[in-house]
Amino acid sequence: MTEIVDVAIIGAGPYGLSLGAHLAGLGIDFRIFGSPMHTWRTSMPKGMVLKSEGNASNLYDPKGEYTLEAFCRERGHPYKDVGLPIPLSTFIEYGIAFQSRFVPNLEDRLVTAVMPTRYGFDVHLEDGEVAPARRVIVAAGIRAYEYMPPQLADLPIELASHTAIHVNVDQFIGRDVAVIGGGASAINIAALLHQKGAHPTIICRRPEVDYCGPPGERTLMDKLREPENGLGTGWRSWACCAMPDVFHAMPEPFRVMVVRKHLPAAPGWTLKAQVDGIVPTIGGTQLVSADAVGGRVKLRLESAKGVRDLVTDHVIAGTGYRVDMRRLAFFGPSILDRLDCVEHTPRLSRSFESSIPGLHFVGTAAANSFGPMLRFAFGAGFASRRISTHLARSLVRNRSAVGTAGARWSKSAGLAGT
């Protein structure tokens, strides 16, 4: 049997890599599975820039030394804490460099199943290996949680798709494409479609696209009224970043409401010049139905002005992601039937542990427990420090208990032999 490790991490994005760096720094025995920066490499459109500012786009090593700023200085990339958009390609390059430096033991292998055992868990891998671990930390990204509106769900992929599958959009050059949504993913893909020579039309529920405001010079009074933080500016965001434990202690309905409503999926300010007044936008509109007609899609749209039809070659859903444990392919009934959830997200302790002992979750799956910060890469610092510290203490206690039990056994055995 393969040796049992203390921890298995599933996922190699900002959360998984930051956590791996912290565990390695504490000498905790772990394995980590996943393709480095997978979601960022395979589900984000080429040429996009991050919505988060440079100082909120770090991965986290134990000493906090290898920041995005340090990486950019090392590689000669331009960088500013605020006001200079970070290209997606730079962030991916940074993540892979971080992994190479701090988590060289990453195994680029797919996890196919997680099964509870008497010692913890068996992690089944795509090549047939079973990796036993006392604890499992799920740091899976958002890719499994893509949300497709039910009106589009029955259309073939040739006619309807989600933004998550489009790194490039060359196949749509010269074609009409309806983009559903007014958030970051929808507007990013609409901008890329227009740049490539497609003919996008944005359809969104809001009267108009609500872009994030550009950063600017801020007076002392501005900073007092709306303090800067890892989620932007404002006291509510500051509280989410500064006091995740207070958030964890709040009543669950309040927490779920805040996570749902705070910081809706607004596109970054850099996209406004590429889309606003350039890409046709139908605002204040709901998608009622979608039907395949002669190799195209007929959309029925409803607004305060009434109902109208729009025929297009393809529909791309920029409708974001909804966390749902049932969407994780490596979980079966042995996990799901025992996992205590709220709105299909796990209820977590202060150490990110679920109702199944030894099974932890980080990233967006932890947002309903710790707040909106966990929906963003910025939350990886808090999560990594909290879990690694907890695990280090737990392992010391467990080893101490084993040692004490062993000493008692030796003493009793010695007495019996005299």
Domain total for the chain?
Answer: 2
Write the CATH number for 348: 3.50.50.60
Range from 226-230, 258-262, 307-311, 414-418 carrying the lowest mean pLDDT: 414-418
Check pLDDT > 80 for residue 218.
no
Do 295 and 359 fall into the same domain?
no
pTM (2 d.p.): 0.90
Do 55 and 168 fall into the same domain?
no
Do 59 and 177 fall into the same domain?
no
Do 180 and 270 fall into the same domain?
yes
Q: Roughly what angle, to the nearest 10 degrees, separates helices 14-25 and 380-417?
A: 40
Do 348 and 199 fall into the same domain?
no
Check pLDDT > 80 for residue 341.
yes
- For the record, the structure tokens of 56 come out as 């909120």
With respect to residue 241, please indicate whether it lies within any of the assigned structural domains: no
143-165 pLDDT tens trace = 899 999 999 999 999 999 999 99
Residue-number span of the structural domain to which 382 is assigned: 5-145+321-402
Best CA proximity match to 203, nearest among 274, 299, 291, 271: 299
50-109 pLDDT tens trace = 988 999 999 999 999 999 999 999 999 999 999 899 999 999 999 999 999 999 999 999
361: left (phi over 0), alpha (psi -120 to 50) or beta: beta
- Looking at 255, 285, 317, which one is the last position of a domain? 317
Do 10 and 99 fall into the same domain?
yes
Range from 140-144, 146-150, 299-303, 321-325 carrying the lowest mean pLDDT: 140-144
10-57 pLDDT tens trace = 999 999 999 999 999 999 999 999 999 999 999 988 889 998 899 999
Check pLDDT > 60 for residue 346.
yes
With respect to residue 247, please indicate whether it lies within any of the assigned structural domains: no
Angle at 38 between CA 204 and CA 243, to 5 degrees: 70
With respect to residue 235, please indicate whether it lies within any of the assigned structural domains: no
With respect to residue 342, please indicate whether it lies within any of the assigned structural domains: yes
Number of neighbouring beta carbons within 10 Å of residue 117: 13
Amino acid at residue number 110: L
Amino acid at residue number 303: S
Range from 123-127, 206-210, 230-234, 291-295 carrying the lowest mean pLDDT: 230-234
Number of neighbouring beta carbons within 10 Å of residue 187: 30
Tokens 């996992």, located at residue: 339
Do 87 and 186 fall into the same domain?
no
Angle at 56 between CA 66 and CA 320, to 5 degrees: 120
- Looking at 255, 287, 317, which one is the last position of a domain? 317
Amino acid at residue number 121: F
Do 385 and 291 fall into the same domain?
no
367-377 pLDDT tens trace = 999 999 999 99
Cα–Cα distance between 360 and 9 in angstroms, integer? Answer: 9
